[in-house]
Amino acid sequence: MGRTPRRLLGKSSLAVAPFALGGNVFGWTVDEAKAFRILDAFVSAGFNLIDTADVYSTWVPGHRGGESETIIGKWLRESGRRNDVLIATKVGNDMGTGGKGLSAEHISHAVEASLRRLQTDYIDLYQAHDDDPGVPLSETLEAFSSLVDEGKVRAIGASNYDAERLMAALQCSRERGLRRYESLQPLYNLMERQEFEGALGEVCRREGLGVLTYYSLAAGFLTGKYRSREDLGKSPRGRRVETWFGERGFRILAALDEVASRLDSFPATVALAWLMARPLVTAPIASATSLDQLNQLLGAADLHLDTEAIQLLDKVSAGSDC
Protein backbone atom coordinates (compact mmCIF):
# COMPACT_ATOMS: atom_id res chain seq x y z
CA MET A 1 0.00 0.00 0.00
CA GLY A 2 2.88 2.34 0.62
CA ARG A 3 3.40 4.86 3.36
CA THR A 4 3.05 8.08 1.37
CA PRO A 5 -0.11 10.16 1.80
CA ARG A 6 -2.63 8.60 -0.53
CA ARG A 7 -5.93 10.38 -0.05
CA LEU A 8 -7.25 13.80 0.86
CA LEU A 9 -9.81 14.43 3.55
CA GLY A 10 -12.83 15.42 1.53
CA LYS A 11 -12.19 18.55 -0.52
CA SER A 12 -9.57 19.83 1.91
CA SER A 13 -5.86 19.93 1.20
CA LEU A 14 -5.03 17.51 4.01
CA ALA A 15 -3.18 14.51 2.57
CA VAL A 16 -3.24 11.63 5.03
CA ALA A 17 -1.00 8.58 5.25
CA PRO A 18 -3.02 5.33 5.44
CA PHE A 19 -2.81 4.91 9.23
CA ALA A 20 -3.57 7.42 11.98
CA LEU A 21 -2.21 7.27 15.53
CA GLY A 22 -4.79 7.50 18.29
CA GLY A 23 -3.78 9.68 21.22
CA ASN A 24 -6.45 8.52 23.66
CA VAL A 25 -3.92 6.47 25.66
CA PHE A 26 -1.52 9.38 26.19
CA GLY A 27 -1.71 10.45 29.81
CA TRP A 28 -3.75 7.36 30.63
CA THR A 29 -1.93 4.05 30.04
CA VAL A 30 1.03 5.75 28.33
CA ASP A 31 3.12 8.30 30.21
CA GLU A 32 4.81 11.29 28.65
CA ALA A 33 8.21 9.71 28.07
CA LYS A 34 6.77 6.64 26.37
CA ALA A 35 4.36 8.79 24.35
CA PHE A 36 7.30 10.81 23.02
CA ARG A 37 9.04 7.62 21.87
CA ILE A 38 5.89 6.38 20.15
CA LEU A 39 5.30 9.72 18.44
CA ASP A 40 8.92 9.91 17.29
CA ALA A 41 8.75 6.42 15.81
CA PHE A 42 5.38 7.07 14.16
CA VAL A 43 6.54 10.17 12.33
CA SER A 44 9.98 8.77 11.50
CA ALA A 45 8.22 5.86 9.76
CA GLY A 46 6.53 8.30 7.38
CA PHE A 47 3.08 8.67 8.92
CA ASN A 48 1.48 12.00 9.70
CA LEU A 49 -2.00 12.05 11.31
CA ILE A 50 -2.30 12.17 15.12
CA ASP A 51 -5.84 12.05 16.48
CA THR A 52 -6.85 13.16 19.95
CA ALA A 53 -9.66 15.01 21.77
CA ASP A 54 -10.00 17.58 24.51
CA VAL A 55 -11.90 15.07 26.65
CA TYR A 56 -9.00 12.58 26.80
CA SER A 57 -8.73 11.41 29.56
CA THR A 58 -11.49 12.62 31.87
CA TRP A 59 -12.41 9.02 32.79
CA VAL A 60 -9.19 8.60 34.79
CA PRO A 61 -9.61 9.51 38.47
CA GLY A 62 -8.06 12.91 39.12
CA HIS A 63 -7.94 13.91 35.46
CA ARG A 64 -9.78 16.94 34.10
CA GLY A 65 -9.37 16.37 30.36
CA GLY A 66 -6.71 17.72 28.05
CA GLU A 67 -4.02 15.32 29.27
CA SER A 68 -3.49 13.81 25.82
CA GLU A 69 -3.41 17.20 24.07
CA THR A 70 -0.92 18.46 26.65
CA ILE A 71 1.49 15.59 26.00
CA ILE A 72 1.19 15.99 22.24
CA GLY A 73 1.77 19.72 22.61
CA LYS A 74 4.94 19.19 24.59
CA TRP A 75 6.15 16.72 21.98
CA LEU A 76 5.40 19.19 19.17
CA ARG A 77 7.42 21.88 20.93
CA GLU A 78 10.38 19.70 21.86
CA SER A 79 10.56 17.73 18.62
CA GLY A 80 10.08 20.70 16.30
CA ARG A 81 7.97 18.50 14.02
CA ARG A 82 4.78 20.55 13.80
CA ASN A 83 5.13 20.93 10.04
CA ASP A 84 5.55 17.17 9.60
CA VAL A 85 2.24 16.17 11.14
CA LEU A 86 -1.49 16.74 10.96
CA ILE A 87 -3.14 17.27 14.33
CA ALA A 88 -6.78 16.23 14.65
CA THR A 89 -8.69 16.91 17.84
CA LYS A 90 -12.32 17.01 18.88
CA VAL A 91 -14.76 19.17 20.80
CA GLY A 92 -18.16 18.64 22.35
CA ASN A 93 -17.93 15.88 24.95
CA ASP A 94 -18.41 16.66 28.61
CA MET A 95 -15.39 18.41 30.10
CA GLY A 96 -17.01 18.79 33.51
CA THR A 97 -16.61 22.37 34.62
CA GLY A 98 -15.10 23.06 31.19
CA GLY A 99 -18.47 22.67 29.51
CA LYS A 100 -19.76 20.48 26.70
CA GLY A 101 -21.76 20.50 23.48
CA LEU A 102 -21.48 22.24 20.13
CA SER A 103 -22.76 25.72 20.89
CA ALA A 104 -20.83 28.60 19.36
CA GLU A 105 -19.84 29.78 22.83
CA HIS A 106 -18.44 26.43 23.91
CA ILE A 107 -16.61 25.87 20.62
CA SER A 108 -14.95 29.31 20.87
CA HIS A 109 -13.69 28.60 24.40
CA ALA A 110 -12.75 24.98 23.73
CA VAL A 111 -10.66 25.67 20.65
CA GLU A 112 -8.54 28.22 22.51
CA ALA A 113 -7.95 25.71 25.31
CA SER A 114 -6.96 23.01 22.80
CA LEU A 115 -4.60 25.37 20.99
CA ARG A 116 -2.90 26.25 24.28
CA ARG A 117 -2.48 22.63 25.29
CA LEU A 118 -1.25 21.61 21.84
CA GLN A 119 1.14 24.59 21.77
CA THR A 120 0.21 25.41 18.20
CA ASP A 121 -1.60 28.26 16.49
CA TYR A 122 -3.74 26.04 14.27
CA ILE A 123 -5.48 22.67 14.30
CA ASP A 124 -5.45 20.71 11.06
CA LEU A 125 -8.73 18.87 11.60
CA TYR A 126 -11.23 20.04 14.24
CA GLN A 127 -14.03 17.55 14.77
CA ALA A 128 -17.43 17.55 16.43
CA HIS A 129 -16.96 14.64 18.84
CA ASP A 130 -20.66 13.77 18.93
CA ASP A 131 -23.79 15.16 17.38
CA ASP A 132 -25.49 17.77 19.57
CA PRO A 133 -29.20 17.85 18.63
CA GLY A 134 -29.79 20.58 21.21
CA VAL A 135 -27.89 23.14 19.13
CA PRO A 136 -28.92 24.17 15.60
CA LEU A 137 -26.58 22.79 12.97
CA SER A 138 -26.26 26.28 11.55
CA GLU A 139 -24.87 27.62 14.83
CA THR A 140 -22.29 24.85 15.07
CA LEU A 141 -21.23 25.15 11.44
CA GLU A 142 -21.04 28.95 11.60
CA ALA A 143 -18.74 28.66 14.62
CA PHE A 144 -16.53 26.11 12.86
CA SER A 145 -16.50 28.20 9.67
CA SER A 146 -15.30 31.24 11.59
CA LEU A 147 -12.40 29.24 12.99
CA VAL A 148 -11.36 28.20 9.49
CA ASP A 149 -11.66 31.77 8.23
CA GLU A 150 -9.53 32.97 11.14
CA GLY A 151 -6.82 30.40 10.36
CA LYS A 152 -7.19 28.59 13.67
CA VAL A 153 -8.51 25.45 11.96
CA ARG A 154 -7.69 24.08 8.49
CA ALA A 155 -10.63 21.69 8.07
CA ILE A 156 -13.59 20.44 10.08
CA GLY A 157 -15.00 16.96 10.54
CA ALA A 158 -17.72 15.03 12.32
CA SER A 159 -17.64 12.02 14.59
CA ASN A 160 -20.51 9.76 15.64
CA TYR A 161 -23.09 11.34 13.33
CA ASP A 162 -25.74 9.11 11.80
CA ALA A 163 -26.53 9.30 8.09
CA GLU A 164 -29.52 11.59 8.48
CA ARG A 165 -27.79 14.16 10.64
CA LEU A 166 -24.58 14.06 8.62
CA MET A 167 -26.54 14.72 5.43
CA ALA A 168 -28.46 17.51 7.15
CA ALA A 169 -25.18 19.14 8.22
CA LEU A 170 -23.77 18.95 4.71
CA GLN A 171 -26.97 20.42 3.28
CA CYS A 172 -26.89 23.23 5.84
CA SER A 173 -23.34 24.11 4.78
CA ARG A 174 -24.36 24.19 1.13
CA GLU A 175 -27.44 26.32 1.69
CA ARG A 176 -25.69 28.85 3.94
CA GLY A 177 -22.33 28.96 2.23
CA LEU A 178 -20.54 27.58 5.30
CA ARG A 179 -17.54 25.32 5.61
CA ARG A 180 -18.61 21.70 5.46
CA TYR A 181 -17.54 18.62 7.33
CA GLU A 182 -14.72 17.12 5.25
CA SER A 183 -14.46 13.87 7.17
CA LEU A 184 -16.36 11.44 9.34
CA GLN A 185 -14.96 9.45 12.23
CA PRO A 186 -17.23 6.42 12.56
CA LEU A 187 -17.11 3.25 14.64
CA TYR A 188 -15.97 0.61 12.14
CA ASN A 189 -13.99 -2.61 12.40
CA LEU A 190 -14.32 -6.30 11.63
CA MET A 191 -16.51 -6.83 14.70
CA GLU A 192 -18.75 -3.80 14.10
CA ARG A 193 -19.55 -3.27 10.45
CA GLN A 194 -23.27 -2.55 10.43
CA GLU A 195 -23.21 0.98 11.84
CA PHE A 196 -21.08 2.33 9.00
CA GLU A 197 -21.88 0.07 6.08
CA GLY A 198 -25.12 1.12 4.44
CA ALA A 199 -26.64 4.59 4.59
CA LEU A 200 -23.79 6.25 6.52
CA GLY A 201 -21.12 4.90 4.23
CA GLU A 202 -23.21 5.87 1.21
CA VAL A 203 -23.32 9.50 2.39
CA CYS A 204 -19.54 9.51 2.69
CA ARG A 205 -19.14 7.99 -0.77
CA ARG A 206 -21.62 10.31 -2.46
CA GLU A 207 -20.33 13.45 -0.76
CA GLY A 208 -16.65 12.56 -1.03
CA LEU A 209 -15.87 12.65 2.70
CA GLY A 210 -12.71 11.26 4.20
CA VAL A 211 -13.31 8.39 6.63
CA LEU A 212 -11.17 7.90 9.76
CA THR A 213 -12.33 4.82 11.62
CA TYR A 214 -12.13 4.62 15.40
CA TYR A 215 -12.07 1.47 17.53
CA SER A 216 -10.35 0.01 14.48
CA LEU A 217 -9.13 -2.95 16.56
CA ALA A 218 -12.34 -3.28 18.59
CA ALA A 219 -10.73 -2.07 21.83
CA GLY A 220 -7.90 -4.55 21.33
CA PHE A 221 -10.05 -7.63 20.76
CA LEU A 222 -8.81 -7.97 17.16
CA THR A 223 -5.19 -8.11 18.32
CA GLY A 224 -5.95 -11.58 19.64
CA LYS A 225 -4.77 -10.88 23.18
CA TYR A 226 -8.22 -11.58 24.63
CA ARG A 227 -8.94 -15.26 24.15
CA SER A 228 -10.64 -16.07 27.45
CA ARG A 229 -12.24 -14.26 30.36
CA GLU A 230 -8.99 -14.70 32.24
CA ASP A 231 -7.41 -12.37 29.69
CA LEU A 232 -9.75 -9.50 30.46
CA GLY A 233 -7.49 -8.15 33.18
CA LYS A 234 -4.62 -7.55 30.75
CA SER A 235 -5.56 -3.90 30.25
CA PRO A 236 -8.07 -1.28 31.45
CA ARG A 237 -10.01 -1.91 28.23
CA GLY A 238 -10.41 -5.61 28.88
CA ARG A 239 -14.00 -5.52 30.11
CA ARG A 240 -15.16 -3.78 26.95
CA VAL A 241 -14.39 -6.80 24.79
CA GLU A 242 -16.29 -9.38 26.83
CA THR A 243 -19.44 -8.93 24.74
CA TRP A 244 -17.54 -10.26 21.71
CA PHE A 245 -16.75 -13.58 23.39
CA GLY A 246 -19.12 -15.50 21.18
CA GLU A 247 -19.09 -17.76 18.15
CA ARG A 248 -18.71 -14.90 15.66
CA GLY A 249 -15.96 -13.16 17.61
CA PHE A 250 -13.83 -16.28 17.91
CA ARG A 251 -14.52 -17.12 14.27
CA ILE A 252 -13.08 -13.74 13.29
CA LEU A 253 -10.04 -14.27 15.50
CA ALA A 254 -9.45 -17.67 13.91
CA ALA A 255 -9.57 -16.10 10.45
CA LEU A 256 -7.14 -13.37 11.51
CA ASP A 257 -4.81 -16.03 12.89
CA GLU A 258 -5.02 -17.97 9.62
CA VAL A 259 -4.30 -14.98 7.41
CA ALA A 260 -1.56 -13.67 9.70
CA SER A 261 0.17 -17.07 9.73
CA ARG A 262 0.02 -17.38 5.93
CA LEU A 263 1.35 -13.84 5.41
CA ASP A 264 3.89 -13.97 8.25
CA SER A 265 2.15 -11.13 10.02
CA PHE A 266 0.06 -10.40 13.13
CA PRO A 267 -3.71 -10.38 13.72
CA ALA A 268 -3.72 -6.65 14.51
CA THR A 269 -1.79 -5.90 11.32
CA VAL A 270 -4.23 -7.95 9.25
CA ALA A 271 -7.27 -6.32 10.88
CA LEU A 272 -5.97 -2.85 10.03
CA ALA A 273 -4.97 -3.90 6.52
CA TRP A 274 -8.56 -5.09 5.97
CA LEU A 275 -9.79 -1.61 6.89
CA MET A 276 -7.20 0.04 4.65
CA ALA A 277 -8.45 -2.10 1.77
CA ARG A 278 -12.03 -0.83 2.18
CA PRO A 279 -12.66 1.66 -0.62
CA LEU A 280 -14.24 4.33 1.60
CA VAL A 281 -11.65 4.29 4.40
CA THR A 282 -9.03 7.04 4.35
CA ALA A 283 -7.15 5.78 7.40
CA PRO A 284 -7.98 3.65 10.43
CA ILE A 285 -7.13 5.13 13.81
CA ALA A 286 -5.51 2.92 16.43
CA SER A 287 -3.45 3.56 19.54
CA ALA A 288 -0.29 1.87 20.74
CA THR A 289 1.11 1.52 24.24
CA SER A 290 4.55 0.26 23.19
CA LEU A 291 6.91 0.42 20.24
CA ASP A 292 6.29 -3.27 19.54
CA GLN A 293 2.57 -2.60 19.26
CA LEU A 294 3.19 0.42 17.07
CA ASN A 295 5.35 -1.56 14.66
CA GLN A 296 2.57 -4.10 14.23
CA LEU A 297 0.12 -1.31 13.41
CA LEU A 298 2.45 0.47 11.01
CA GLY A 299 3.06 -2.78 9.19
CA ALA A 300 -0.52 -2.77 7.93
CA ALA A 301 0.38 -0.08 5.39
CA ASP A 302 2.80 -2.47 3.69
CA LEU A 303 0.73 -5.65 4.02
CA HIS A 304 -1.05 -6.71 0.84
CA LEU A 305 -4.17 -8.77 1.51
CA ASP A 306 -4.90 -10.98 -1.46
CA THR A 307 -8.41 -11.75 -2.66
CA GLU A 308 -8.52 -14.97 -0.68
CA ALA A 309 -7.73 -13.18 2.59
CA ILE A 310 -10.23 -10.38 2.02
CA GLN A 311 -13.00 -12.78 1.05
CA LEU A 312 -12.38 -14.87 4.16
CA LEU A 313 -12.45 -11.86 6.48
CA ASP A 314 -15.55 -10.46 4.74
CA LYS A 315 -17.33 -13.78 5.15
CA VAL A 316 -16.56 -14.46 8.81
CA SER A 317 -17.32 -10.88 9.87
CA ALA A 318 -20.65 -10.59 8.01
CA GLY A 319 -23.69 -10.07 10.24
CA SER A 320 -23.50 -9.64 14.00
CA ASP A 321 -23.83 -11.56 17.24
CA CYS A 322 -27.07 -9.73 18.05
Q: Cβ(185)–Cβ(154) under 8 Å?
A: no
Residue ranges per domain, the chain? 7-223+267-305
CB 98 within 8 A of CB 129: no
How far is Cα 17 from Cα 197, in angstroms, rounded to an integer? Answer: 23
List pLDDT tens digits, range 118-138: 999 999 999 999 999 999 999
Which residue out of 56, 126, 181, 214 is catalytically annotated? 56
pLDDT (0 to 100) of residue 235: 66
- Residue 6 is predicted with a pLDDT of 64
Instruction: Give CA–CA dist 112/117, Å, rounded.
Output: 9
Give the angle subtended at the CA of 159 by the CAs of 156 and 164, to the nearest 5°: 100
pLDDT value at residue 2: 45
| Residue segments in the chain with a per-residue pLDDT below the cut of 50 | 1-2, 322
Maximum Cα–Cα distance across the chain:
55
For residues 56 and 248, the answer to whether their CB atoms sit within 8 Å is no
CA dihedral 23, 24, 29, 33 (to 10 degrees): 20
Residue 90 · residue 113 · CB < 8 Å = no
Determine the Cα–Cα distance for residues 64 and 85; give it in Å rounded to an integer. 26
Specify whether domain 7-223+267-305 bears CATH 3.20.20.100: yes
Q: For residues 248 and 244, give the distance between their C-alpha atoms in angstroms, rounded to a whole number.
A: 8
Active-site residue flag, 161: no
The 10 Å Cβ neighbour count of residue 29 is: 15
pLDDT for position 1: 42
CB neighbour list of residue 312: distance below 8 Å, 6 or more residues apart:
255, 258, 259
